[in-house]
Amino acid sequence: MPDRAADFLDPTLRAYLPDPSALTDMDVAASRIGDAVQRGATVAILGDYDVDGACSGALMAMGLGELGARTINYVPDRQREGYGPNAQALLALAAQGAELVVCVDCGTAAHDALAALRGRADAIVLDHHKSQGAPPAIVATVNPNRADDESGLGNVCAATISFLTLVAVQRELRRRGFFATRPELDLISMLDLVALATVCDVMPLTGLNRALVAQGLKVMARRGRPGIAALLDVAQVKEAPGTMTCGFAIGPRINAAGRIAEADLGLRTLLAPELATATALARRLDEINRERQAVEAGLLDEAMAQAEAQFAAGTSVALVAGERWHPGVVGIVAGRIKEAFNRPALVAGIAEGTAVGSGRSVPGIDLGSAIIAAREAGLLIKGGGHAMAAGFTFEAERIEALRDFLAERLAAAATLPNAPDLAIEGTAAVARIDETLAAAIGRVGPFGAGNEEPVFVVPRARVVRSDRIGRNEGTIRAIVEGETGGRLKTLLFRAGENDLAAALSRPAGEPLNLAGHIRAEQWNGRTTVSLILIDAAPA
């Protein structure tokens, strides 16, 4: 609406930050955490191994530690322990002296595991995954997606819930006079972690999320957090970080450790106290990410072939599986299949008769609810997630029954086009594309889910020069000339050997209509404008 245009173009926390008390159980959680802080008690923080879990864990560890609590961090090993809290880990944390265990980005469905803590330690869950039925019988479950929550915050990530919890705890402690002789938390400085998690967990960049990301990217640009500064350095990011930086440079490196190596390495990197330690950890993450890419490449072709056969048979959703497929990369492969076919995709690795997998969905198709329904129908050993992503475990012999159940539950996906429609914002001649236009487009950012980056068509452009650049020469850089003059740099990532790559590799060929994103890029103090290519067609 026009009266909110200023807030949209310059989203501030003042305009969008809600009262944390709107979340069910938040006041109870803040009070219990406040008690632990005042006593300097030991608080264990158990988190997930992905970016949202690492950022949530870092927020709580840093915030509670600065307030005076003793914190213990724990991230379950993906392969040995699976997702979320387990009884053995929880009891071990209590044995280390934790009087309170805070589960971040997990725990909503862990009723049995959390019950093991009864009489040994209190528990609080800070989560955002979909929930059905009553929450666990613990001190508090703060989750905007629990059935009885009316906060309207169902589209935020767990790091946002953790941040709002710190806001509520600080408010509670302020009410108690706790800060009469000590400084309050600098909550704004923590927004880099919230922004990173929001982008990497593919939350819609509207309203509160948009404000958190816009302000968090400003904090990130100052490079005050050694861990993020080191990750930016190993990714060779020189310009001011944006959503692409979070999603394609920082996020995959943090995720890689939880997928195939040390589950808590990403968390330790974010919590590193100084740059030398952070740099060593970030370099290790970079190495692991390369290993992850090799593992992913090893099973992608086989998984893609299975998915193609299933979609050719008319199913609405692909569920593919293979013996010894690494559980750490199945989510990434599911994402690749989803992108290729514009349908929900689930990928699982089978070992000793048990399949462990991950799924990715497309807008409008709620995968998390379908997985929860499959679990309740007895088809899964465990499973959960949100609309766009889910994790699950099942007995391998039940794969056909599960595939049929999901195909029926997600039947609406069968009506989707084979590729997502490309929404075109407008046309722009090469001669008209400059820094002024790129800056005007950039003002509508940050871009991501829910606020997609606009796509422009550049008509009748001819390739005058092209080359392959980057790691493994996976990017094509082509200089194009417009019909009415002017030249423009274009970039095609993940170029491969497809028809589009071939067309861009033919200087002086037929004119092309190019579709892509117009961006201003900073490099060595200079600003250049590029067209990031999505598609092309003969003019």
Beta-carbon neighbour count of residue 248 at 10 Å? 14
Gyration radius of the chain's alpha carbons: 24
- Phi-psi bin for 338: left (phi > 0), alpha (psi -120 to 50), beta? alpha
CA pair distance 464, 461, nearest whole angstrom = 9
pLDDT tens for 335-354 read 999 999 999 999 999 999 99
Query: What stretches in the chain show pLDDT beneath 50?
Result: none
pLDDT digits (tens, 9 = 90+) for 369-414: 999 999 999 999 999 888 889 999 999 999 999 999 999 999 999 9
pTM: 0.86
Nearest Cα residue to 517 out of 500, 534, 501, 505? 534
pLDDT at 79: 76
In terms of Cβ atoms closer than 10 Å to its own Cβ (0-12, 13-18, 19+), residue 340 is: middle
What is the secondary structure of 174-210 as a DSSP string? HHTTGGGSSPPP-GGGGHHHHHHHHHHTT---SHHHH
CB 490 within 8 A of CB 514: yes
Distance CA 222, CA 238 (A): 12
pLDDT (0 to 100) of residue 507: 84
**Domains along the chain?**
12-188 (3.90.1640.30), 314-415 (3.10.310.30), 424-538 (2.40.50.460)
Q: How would you classify the pairing of strands 455-469 and 475-481? A: antiparallel
Contact (CB, 8 A) for 479 and 489: yes
pLDDT, tens digit (0-9, with 9 covering 90-100), for 409-434: 999 999 998 888 888 999 999 999 99
